[in-house]
Structure formats: C-alpha cells, structure tokens
Structure 1
Amino acid sequence: MKTLMGLSAVLVLGLGCSAGVLAQNAPAATGSQAPVRFLVVADRESPMSAASPGRVSKVYVQLGDSVAKGKTMVAFDCSDLDAKHDAADAEYKAAQLRYEAKAKLQGLQSAAALEVELTAADVNRTKGQLRIIDAQLAQCRFVAPFDGRVARVHVKEGQGVAAGAPVIDFVGTGTPKARLNVPSNWIVWLKPGAHLDATVDETGQRYQLTVTRLSGRVDAVSQTIEIEADFTGDTSRVLPGMSGRATPGKG
C-alpha cells in the first residue's frame, strides 16, 4: 500500500512539472508577457554623404518633400570637373579620328599594322580617362535612389562639405515597419506570420503587427532577439522614428 501511495505521489508531481513546462512553452497569445518597446522604421532609407570634399551649389528640395526616383536633390559645384570632362572628351574624339585615318591608310597599304594598333590603344586610353571623369561627375549630384521623402537636409547652398559629411537623409514612402527586441524565450512560438498587438505612443492608435523577420542570433547579454514586423491597416499617421509598445497577439 505504501508503495502504491508513493508511486501516486510521483505521478502527481510529474504531471505538475509537465503542466508547468507546457505553461512556459505555451504561445504568448494569453497576453501574459510584459509589453516590449518597438521603433518605427522606414521600409527603405538612404543616408547620403559626400564621397569627396566639395561646395554645395544648389539644394533642390526641402524637409518633407516627396521626390521621385532619379530626381536630383543636391548638387555640388564641379566646374573644374566639367572642364576636365570637356578636355578628355576632345582627346577621345581626336584619338578616334587618328585611328580611323590610320585604318584607312592601312587599307591602302600606307600604314603599318603597329601604327594602327597604337592609335587603337590611344582610343581606349582616352575613353578610360573620360569614364573616370564621368564617375567623378556622378558624385556631384545626389539623386533620389527610389520614390520617397526628404527626412533631413544637412547642407545649405554655398556650404563647403568635407568627405564623409552627411548631405541628406532620404526615406521610402512604403508601409513602415516595426523593429523590436523581444525576450529570447518567445522563440518557442514566435515565427514569421505570428501576430503582435501594438500601440503607437505618439498617436495612441492600435495596430496588429505581423512578424516578418527574426535575427539569426540571440543577444547573450540582454537575452533578447531582434525582429521586424509589418503594420496592418491604415499607417498614414505612422512615421519613422515613432515608438510604442507591443504584446503577443491574442489570436
């Protein structure tokens, strides 16, 4: 009898422990977890900086402007490069003419093959120099890489800018995302497609977030994992830089 009672006690304790483990691993849809902070980020962003020293000649946009892909937002004064480009272009065209003339003379057996090859090499050399200057000129204009809005303009017309200095911050106009660090034990149930309930601090509006990405590692110090999630519903009042609180979805 004592043996049976002992076995019963062990079974009860075992069931109790199993229930505890199941409770810990249960989906967070119960909403028992404490809220976590999130940051609203743009779907795309491009902080542009100067590749080389220069002076701003023209600023075409202002804070908050909507800009189409390919439009120039800021231009540097590159008159020296423009002059070098004109000179290099003239050299390239002259090299082409010399090559064409030598090629015709070779057809008349009045020019050696070596002479033709040398003029062809000169064409390639001057063409390469022209392409280098074209690449440098491209750095004189800051062009919108996608449809978006101006988040910040760091420069003014006439201002000298050092290499690496910020020029303009540009963000996409697509649906913003939420970025947050959640407890690592949420991994038990947290997967792409899982839902979170969120409230934006600045507006008080509530949204459902759909998890889209999970980091490939857990932060060993904070025991959290970074995730990204998409907003559902009307996000016209949600701007990058806003923040809020999120809890596991209830269903």
Structure 2
Amino acid sequence: MLNTMIMKIMEIKLLKLLASFILILPLFAKNVFAEERESRALVVASQQAVLSSELAAKIDNIPVKEMQRFKKGDLLIQFDCSLYEAQKDVVSANANSALIKMESDEQMLQMRTIGKYDLELSKSEYEKAKAELLIAELNLKRCKISAPFDGAVEEILVNTFETIQPQVELMKIIQTDVLELEMVVSSEWISWLTIGHPIVVYIDEIQKEFNATVSGIGANVDPVSQTIQLKGTITDASPALLAGMSGRVLF
C-alpha cells in the first residue's frame, strides 16, 4: 500500500514537472530561434568608382575636397585644355574649307569643268575633316570630369597643376544616397530566405535601427564554412548612415 502511494506521489510530481517544461519550452525555443536568425552586416556603397583621365593635360582645378559630398553632374576635375581648344579651332577651319571646296566642285561638275573623280575626292576630304572635328570636340568634353551620381569624395590621388597622362587614376568616389548591406549567414537559411524578406539592422556606431530587405542571395555556398553571402537594401536610410559602418541584423 505504501509503495503504491509513493508511486502515485512521484507520478504526480513528474506530471507537474513535465507540464512546467511544456510551458517554458516555447519561450526557450523562441530565444534559440531568434539567436540562430541573427547575423552581422557591413554597410557598403551600392556604387563606387575610380575616376581616371582620358587625355594628357594639366589639372587646372579640383573644386572638391576629400569627404565632401556632391550631386550628380557637379564638376569634380577641370583640365587646362587651351591646346585642345586651339586644335579644335584649326580643325573646324579645315572642315569649313573642305565644305566650301566640295560645294564648289559640285558646281564645277555641273559645268563639266571637272570630273566625278575630283568631286568624290573633295567629298572624301570633307568627311575626313568632319571626323577630325568630332575627335576635337570629344577631347574638349573630356577636359572636365563631372559626377556620375550623388556621392562623396573618398580620396583625391592627384594635385592641381600636375600634368597627367591618359589612364592615370585621379579620384575615388562612392555613392551615398543608396547604401547596401553585406552579410554572411548559414547556408541552411536558404531553405526559407527569399528576395524581399524583411530584416532589421541595428548599427553599432550610431546605435540606431533601420528597416531593410534581402535584395540578393549568393550564387554558391562556401564549402568550408557552409555559409552564403547576402545583400540587403536599406529602405529608410538617413544621412547619419555611412558606408563602412557595421551592425547586427535580425531576420
């Protein structure tokens, strides 16, 4: 009889313990789930560029400074193009002379004072002069470098009054109005992660939260770490958010 009572008491205690465990299990699972779906992220510029020269010339003016922000179309570098302007004037005069010669030959052909070969030759000279004029005009357009997007100057690699050659790197710029997140997560996540999945990023440097979405999923899994790269687009960025900052992402 005593053994039966002891067994019943132990059974009741066991049931109570099991019930308590069942009650706290969802909370425990929730914490584990949240911990597993957390990652680190790096804020990067969606676009960046290294500007280089397309011609040989002396730098006349650099109206921006490092870390300065600019708008699309703003002047970043101006070259001294006095030589190219003079060359354009000469080529333009040659093109005008070639046009006059061609028109004169057309009239002379009608009067049969020259042959068709002479007219074709003058037409060829005019087309050549037009091509040279186009090159001269293109060179003049290359005398200034304008901003291709809204952004900021990361680094200036040359100085005013320096004479540079083609393909020389001049300035590094980054886009500031569109920022992205770079993340590395477990490859197991791709079973539920999709493009457009909402995420929240907490930036350490400024201690602020921003909403974002998954905008890209890596094309391959790292076989060693079993991780995959993700891209994220910040939907409510502010001027305080800068490329290079990092933070914690909640999925």
Distance 1:104 1:162, change over 3 A: closer
> What is the alpha-carbon distance in structure 2 between the residues aligned to residue 90 and residue 222 of structure 1?
68
The equivalent position to 2:187 in structure 1, one of 184, 188, 194, is: 184
- Native 8 Å contact 2:58 2:164 kept in 1: yes
- Native 8 Å contact 1:56 1:159 kept in 2: yes
Residue 244 of structure 1 corresponds to 247
Residue 72 of structure 1 corresponds to 75
> What is the alpha-carbon distance in structure 2 between the residues aligned to residue 29 and residue 198 of structure 1?
19
Moved more, 109-118 or 167-176: 167-176
1:152 aligns with 2:152: no
Q: Which amino acid is the alignment partner of residue 40 of structure 1? A: V
> What is the alpha-carbon distance in structure 1 between the residues aligned to residue 63 and residue 180 of structure 2?
28
- Native 8 Å contact 1:175 1:235 kept in 2: no
State the secondary structure of the residue aligned to 2:83. Answer: helix
RMSD of aligned residue pairs (Cα, Å): 2.6
Q: Which amino acid is the alignment partner of residue 174 of structure 1? A: D
How far residue 162 of structure 1 moved from its aligned partner, in angstroms, is: 4.8
Q: Which amino acid is the alignment partner of residue 67 of structure 1? A: F
TM-score when normalising by structure 1: 0.76
Distance 1:221 1:84, change over 3 A: farther
1:196 aligns with 2:193: no
Residue ranges of structure 2 left out of the alignment (5+ in a row): 1-30
- Large movers: runs of 4+ above 6 Å: none
The equivalent position to 1:231 in structure 2, one of 230, 234, 237, is: 234
Residue 119 of structure 2 corresponds to 116
Moved more, 94-103 or 35-44: 35-44
1:169 aligns with 2:172: yes
Distance 1:104 1:178, change over 3 A: same
TM-score when normalising by structure 2: 0.76
Distance 1:147 1:106, change over 3 A: farther
The aligned length equals: 221
Residue ranges of structure 1 left out of the alignment (5+ in a row): 1-27
Distance 1:224 1:85, change over 3 A: farther
1:40 aligns with 2:37: no
Residue 221 of structure 2 corresponds to 218
| Post-superposition CA distance 1:24-52 (Å, at most 9, x none) | xxxx9932327433221223333212235
The structure number with the bigger radius of gyration is 2
> What is the alpha-carbon distance in structure 2 between the residues aligned to residue 221 and residue 120 of structure 1?
68
